[in-house]
Structure 1
Amino acid sequence: MSSGDGVEPLRRQDRTRLRRAEIVSAAARIFATDGYANVGTREIADAVGIRGASLYHHFGSKEEILYEISLTVTREPVEENLPLLDLAATPTERLAALIEAHIRHLRRRRVEHLVALHERTSLTAEHQARIDDYRHYYHRRVRDLLAAGMRAGEFRELDPPIVALGLMDMLNGVSGWIRGDSDDDVQVVVDTYLDLVLGGLRR
């Protein structure tokens, strides 16, 4: 088919998107192993099997790659998990759905999350602020859900902002140790955390 029908540009766009994702994934693995400060763009390009000049076609700097890693693990939960809070369900059911989705996302993005956590100070101030915007919005939505559960009498009367912060720290800490290779392994973690969180919140 000719490029005039719009098919070929779409294919090029897909190839570009897949290559960027490949670069980000490879960089995350290298940063996690060797540390961001000890890795150059040459190592990243070699890991992907491309020339250094080709890497700069996708990212203008190493910091931009780190930013893409960090953005991925903060934007994805907002886009994928927060819609669960809008379901036609009780606050308890919505919180349970969010907890499971959050843990499964951390298992899938474990390496990226650890890199984003440990290398945060290497981001520019502008990029840190963008990441913080996503994190603060996620926290506000969790806080509001907890407050709704307290008003409904499903949760004990506690300080919603503090509970939300504690809950997020508890959930995000999973990325430091979760190693489950099977869905059953991850489900054990999910079930344990649901018992801990919901058991502590119930009136």
Structure 2
Amino acid sequence: MDEPMRRGRVTAEQIVSAAARLFASDGYHEIGMREIADALGIRGASLYHHYASKEEILFAICLTVSEEPVERTLPVLDEAGTPTERLTRLVRGHLLHLVERQVEHLVGRHELAALTPEHRAVVDGHRRYYQRRVADTVAAGVRAGELHVADVRLVTLALLDMLNGTSSWYRPDGPLAAEDLAGTYVRLAVEGLLGGRLPDCG
């Protein structure tokens, strides 16, 4: 345990990370603030300097996998390049973010119903916006004759489900490196689901 934790000083990020691991392994409803504090080696009261409740911690976890992609991954759709090139960059960025935040992704997928209606609406809003931007870019690729899909909305949902589902089976210590995983999924997405050709810049 590092010195800041022994002294009871933790960051919000450390709290979110520790809680995500506990929620992922034991379930949100089986874990209380005491268990989170014990995992960090601090007194329970120290948690309340950052979060007023366990549900607020869950909300913060869900934001890392809904708001962060909007801020960090989605901007590639505004960069120069064809729709296919931009979607290629998005798929790679999405997978690498998922690997970085795999535990949070798992919690976000399985514990979303425990959020308050207000917090759930915020998370759902980020997800709908992300989905809409991806669908708009897929539609642009279809109009340009680069991509060949019959139902843009359905294919967009299938694409995002394929990417997000990786969080349930990928193992960072396994034989498949994150970059290799991203490259494989780029090919599956562009040449498979989207019916296009992989850009030379890949």
- The bucket for the TM-score relative to the shorter chain is 0.7 to 0.9
Q: Which shifted more, 49-58 or 95-104?
A: 49-58
Contact 2:149 2:155 in 1 (8 A): no
Equivalents in 2 of 1:84, 1:182: separation in Å? 29
Larger Rg: 1
Aligned 1:1-203 pairs, distance under 5 A? 19-181=11-173, 185-200=177-192, 201-202=195-196
Q: Distance in 2 between matches of 1:123 and 1:198?
A: 34
Residue segments in structure 1 that go unaligned for 5+ positions in a row:
1-16
CA–CA distance in structure 2, aligned partners of residues 41 and 157 of structure 1: 48
C-alpha contact 2:91 2:186 (8 A) present in aligned 1: yes
Separation (CA, whole Å) in 2 of partners of 1:28 and 1:58: 15
Question: What is the CA-CA distance between 1:50 and the residue it aligns to?
Answer: 1.6
Instruction: Report the secondary structure of 1:58's partner residue.
Output: coil
> How far did residue 184 of structure 1 move?
6.6
Moved more, 149-158 or 130-139: 149-158
Moved more, 178-187 or 60-69: 178-187
Aligned equivalents of 2:64 and 2:177: distance in 1? 24
Deviation at 1:183, TM superposition (A): 10
**Residues in 2 aligned to 1:151 and 1:124: alpha-carbon distance in whole angstroms:** 40
TM-score scaled to structure 1, two decimals? Answer: 0.88
> Given residue 160 of structure 1, which amino acid in structure 2 is its aligned partner?
V
Cα distance between partner residues in 1 of 2:196 and 2:106: 31
Rounded to whole Å, the distance in 2 between the matches of 1:26 and 1:136 is: 28
- Residues 108 and 183 of structure 1, relative CA distance in 2, 3 Å threshold: farther
With over 3 angstroms needed to count, the CA separation of the structure-2 counterparts of 1:183 and 1:151, relative to structure 1, is farther
Using structure 2 for the length normalisation, give the TM-score.
0.88
More helix by share: 1
Structure 2 gap segments, 5+ residues each: 1-8, 198-202
Q: CA offset at residue 144 of structure 1?
A: 0.2
Q: Distance in 2 between matches of 1:111 and 1:25?
A: 8
Identity of counterpart residues, as a percentage?
Answer: 56
What per-residue deviation string (whole Å, max 9, x for no partner) do you get for residues 17-53 of structure 1? 9611111100000111111111110010111122111
Question: Cα distance 1:113–1:141, how it changes in 2: closer, same or farther (>3 A)?
Answer: same
In the other structure, the counterpart of 2:4 is: none
Give the aligned residue type for 1:185.
A
Q: How many residues align?
A: 187
Runs of 4+ in structure 1 over 2 Å off: 180-184
RMSD: 1.7
Amino acid across the alignment from 2:50: H
Q: Which amino acid aligns with 2:66?
A: T
